[in-house]
Chain A
Amino acid sequence: MELIEAIVLAVLAASTPLLIAATGELVTERSGVLNLGVEGMMIVGAACGFGGAWLTGSILVGALFGIVAGTLMSLVFALMALGLAVNQVATGLALTILGIGLSGLIGAGFVGERITPAVHLYIPGLTDMPLIGRVLFGEDGFVYFSVALIVGVWWFLYRTRAGLILRACGDNHVSAHALGYPVLRIRTFAVMFGGACAGLAGAYLPLAYTPFFIPGMTAGRGWIALALVVFASWRPGRLVVGAYLFGAVTILQLHAQGWGVGIPSQFMSALPYLATVIVLVLLSRARTGGSTAPAALGTVFVPDR
């Protein structure tokens, strides 16, 4: 029983940065912009987030530093890809490379330092309940926030007029423009939201997961977040399932090795990506019903003035 609880706790912790980063990217992509720079924004968020917490001793300040850093990074992307209509794929890749270098520079001063990680919720009685107590009432703030975030995004996209307009920009920017909506401004906000989420997701790693900063510590999680958005076929509900599934596979393959289950660990590590490819194939086969990629995703839009 205790082992199950421990595994669930580890899965939630491992999934949270993926969920936060992927939520941001989902909104960005729903507005029709493909920002491949998630990894770069995350790692800069990690460096600045740790720096903020290390300087002030406050996890909250660290998280805010991460959000601001991610947003600033995304503004660089917005300037290039939206303002100057540069190819989005190339700009996104460049942003990742820039981020990896920049984070090393920012982090050089506090490599090897450590901080007190984010506290976990504790409610006497509730948290002590067997099996579900710590899972429901004993997490750190980031975990609760990530759940609130995805619910908020779902509500925004499907239950508000602004969300509808954002989706319209992603599906047909020419029509949205003809109707008088400021496509580029909306997309810029969507890109900034994606950057803020990526920065926060990156900051989660040194603030709550492993409370120290080392260059390259995001270790490809930004790319997994990108894959998750595709896996979720751009839908918030499926994104939650996908994020926890990715986290669960990561943790369970480690436990399977400890138990001596004879599945090659390399295969288990590759499983989430395999699942993404399969989902992509299924989506392209079944054209009816399922929501596929936003129609204008990744295309450049220059309004005729």
Chain B
Amino acid sequence: MRKSLLALTAGLLLAGSVSAASAADKLKVGFIYLGPIGDLGWTYQHDVGRQALVKELGDKIETTYLENVPEGPDAERAIEQLVRAGNKLIFTTSFGYMDPTLKVAKKYPNVHFEHATGYKRDKNMSTYSAKWYQGRYIQGLIAAKMSKSGVLGYIGSFPIPEVVSGINATILAAQTINPNIKVKIIWANTWFDPGKEADAAKALIDQGADVIMQHTDSPAAMQIASERGKLAFGQDSEMIKFGPKTQLTSILDTWGPYYIDRVKAELAGTWKSEDTWGGLDSHMFAMAPYTNMPDDVKKMAEDAQAAITAGKLHPFKCPIVAQDGKAVECKGGANLDDGQILGMNFYVKGIDDKLPGK
């Protein structure tokens, strides 16, 4: 799920810096990025994936990317620009590119499209995303073990299902360690504003939280936690540089293997429209090394990761009790099913806050 940042200027700014080399007969693969590749977070990780792709298949393909492409009508033009430039497989890496991608896909049935984190597909348009809530569950376990105050601080971006399911997974895990754990949630209402993210981290710490987690993109919260001698989790990318004694772990977006798989399929002529929602078992994301914690906590985290990877542990194992005390219908047998997680719009019991808009 992605952001609509810089809305004010973005409309005027189709600041696409195009990087491409010319070569005959090579498969052309295009990427549309939301932010600059130097954002240290979301877009940066997609570009790391692209670089892995080039390293692996560089002799057979040629990649092009457009960065700082705003979501909305401009995106459609940018995607079409890649099509006209001869790209046969195009990755659009933000939620807001969903409809523009679909529109262009209908117009060019011979070009294949891959849209990240969306839910609309077509015969030449796939979607791909990751089950980050699995990582959040591990973070919840660690947080509950490491918190002395019993209060966790959570910085949310927007109250969308992806973020809400992350909060729920965190708290469900934490409750298995400390049934009375509290979580304070602050919505920044932005994906990216380092100043505001820092302010939110300060407010959470001032109100007694001693482990900070974030679902926003900059390392600001990590750096504040480090300054105040608290603990924190990174987001999207490795942030240990901003808190060498602070970062417990970080959910790392690792798109490389997926990009390589899909391009190989394209080269082999076996590409089909698919819906990929991969977890720890599929290498769609990884956990940064478990640091700044005692060995027993580290072992617990590693065991949980192994159990989730092996499919023995499911973060949303039934019964799940919602905030209002009612048990949630269990559509997936022993667990909530994917649809329930993808559309999650309730808090679980144990969270005092009200979900915005509820």
Contact = CB atoms under 8 A, between A and B. Distances in A.
A141 to B, nearest CB: 18
A250 B184 CA distance: 18
B207 A219 contact: no
Interface in A240-285: 250-251, 254-255, 257-260, 262, 264-266, 269
Interface stretch (A3-11, A125-133, A291-299): A3-11
Interface in A188-229: 205, 209-212, 214-217, 219-221, 223
Given A257-B185, A260-B353, A214 B203 contact: no
Contacts of B204: 258
Contacts of A264: 356-357
B8 interface: yes
Contacts of B196: 219, 250
B36 A215 contact: yes
A210 B195 contact: yes
A192 B19 CA distance: 36
B110 to A, nearest CB: 34
B18 interface: no
Contacts of A101: 13, 15
Interface string B223-263: 11000000000000000011000000000000000000000
Contacts of B189: 265-266, 269
Given A210-B218, A212-B223, A220 B354 contact: no
B356 A14 contact: no
B199 A219 contact: no
B96 interface: no
Q: Which of the four size classes fits the interface of chain A? A: 35 or more
B193 A265 contact: no
Contacts of A112: 38, 40, 241
A12 to B, nearest CB: 12
B108 interface: no
Interface stretch (A52-60, A65-73, A76-84, A103-111): A103-111
Contacts of B223: 114, 210-212
A114 B218 CA distance: 13
Q: Which of the four size classes fits the interface of chain B? A: 35 or more
A88 interface: no
B199 A10 contact: yes
B39 A215 contact: yes
Contacts of A220: 6, 8, 193
A111 B40 contact: yes
Given A6-B206, A209-B195, A266-B356, A214 B38 contact: yes
Contact of A114 (B15, B153, B241): B241
Contacts of B13: 97, 100-101
A96 interface: yes
Contacts of B153: 258
B3 to A, nearest CB: 11
B5 interface: yes
Nearest to A9: B202
B268 interface: no
Contacts of A61: none
A265 B187 contact: yes
B198 interface: yes
B194 A219 contact: yes
A100 B15 CA distance: 10
A299 to B, nearest CB: 24
B32 interface: no
Nearest to A216: B6
Contacts of A104: 36, 38
Nearest to B68: A104
A3 B207 contact: yes
B194 A257 contact: no
Contact of A111 (B8, B38, B202): B38
Nearest to A7: B206
A100 to B, nearest CB: 6
A257 B187 contact: yes
Contacts of B52: none
Contact of A254 (B12, B186, B224, B352): B186
Contacts of B35: 215-216
Given A104-B36, A214-B39, A205 B184 contact: no
A183 to B, nearest CB: 31
A93 interface: yes
A42 to B, nearest CB: 12
B100 interface: no
B38 A107 contact: yes
Interface in B317-358: 352-354, 356-357
Interface in B5-43: 5-6, 8-9, 12-13, 15, 35-36, 38-40
A145 to B, nearest CB: 18
B192 interface: yes
Given A114-B242, A254-B200, A255-B207, A219 B193 contact: yes
Which 3 residue pairs spanning A and B have beta carbons closest together? A219-B193, A111-B38, A6-B206
Interface of B: 5-6, 8-9, 12-13, 15, 35-36, 38-40, 153, 184-187, 189-190, 192-196, 198-200, 202-204, 206-207, 218-220, 223-224, 241-242, 352-354, 356-357
9 contacts: A7-B206, A39-B9, A111-B40, A114-B241, A209-B195, A210-B220, A215-B35, A216-B5, A266-B356
Given A254-B200, A255-B207, 6 more contacts: A104-B36, A212-B242, A215-B36, A216-B5, A219-B194, A266-B356
